[in-house]
Structure formats: C-alpha cells, structure tokens
Amino acid sequence: MTNEVKQVFGASPTTVISLAAALANAAWTYSGLSGCTMVTLDNSTLLYPRAQAVLDVPDTFSAAPTDNSVIELWMTPQDVDGANDVIPPPDSAGIKQAEQVGVFRLTAFDVQQRTRCLFSMEGVKAATFAILNRSGVSTSYSTNPLTVKVTLLSQAPT
C-alpha cells in the first residue's frame, strides 16, 4: 500500500563486542579486558534513529541462568562534542558514564542462547558498547566467543 511505513535496515550487522573468555556474574566488558575485542559503531552517515542488538552466547553458561535474568547492554556515545567522546568510559573499576540502553532476557536453560533488544540511537553519531552480566551465573568459553552484533534501522515510506 502506498504511504505505508516499512522498516529499513542499515548495512550488515556490526560485531561491537566479541568476548573470547568467560564473563562472571556481575562483571562487565570494557576496552582492555583480556579476550575482549570491541569495535565502535559508526552511525554518522545516515544517522539511523534505532538499532537492534543481538547477544549470542554460544558456549552456554556455568549453570542454567535464573529464568528472566538479564545481561544488560550499555552504550557510550562517541563524538558528542565534535570529535570528543562521553567520558569516562567503562573500565575495570566500573561502567562509569555509559548509558544503559537495553537488556537481553535469558531463559533458565544451560544451552546456547541468542536474544535481541531494540534501542534508540537518536542523537548518536557513533558509540561503543559494554555488557553487564546479571544472569546469576558466569558465561562459559571454550571455542566460540560471546558476541554482540548491532544492526541500525529506521523507517521509510513505501
């Protein structure tokens, strides 16, 4: 139908976090964490207002997480004042100035889990991300890294 709205997805998903290590309960990812690779998400060209993040925990958990427990998604906007970023970013001492933008809900099964959340990118030209494990158990790592992938999205008329 004309004048209807459809979803428009950006380019292929960007892997913003790849963690080739276990993540303990109440622990978070940050630049410099052993086994953690982080990539800045660039939204500066088309300025998509929304995004979908997908958490993939392929090597399961140390035990089944509590049903409906979460792994939180945190974002640190970049280039907020010209080329200056929001500071301080997450580090080994804390999440600091990152903003919680979503949660990945988990089920009470000690199996691979892949789940998603939607969040706003309004006013954000670029960002880095962190996750905070609130599952009650640690994630496991043997061969496949835990990943968070983000796909930018918007709406357009048909």
pLDDT in tens, 70-111: 999 999 998 888 887 888 889 999 999 999 999 999 999 989
Instruction: Please check whether the domain covering 15-150 is classified as CATH 3.90.1170.
Output: no
**CA dist., res. 146 & res. 16, Å (int):** 11
Q: What's the pLDDT at 1?
A: 62
Neighbour count for residue 50 (Cβ, 10 Å): 17
| Residues in the chain with pLDDT values less than 50 | none
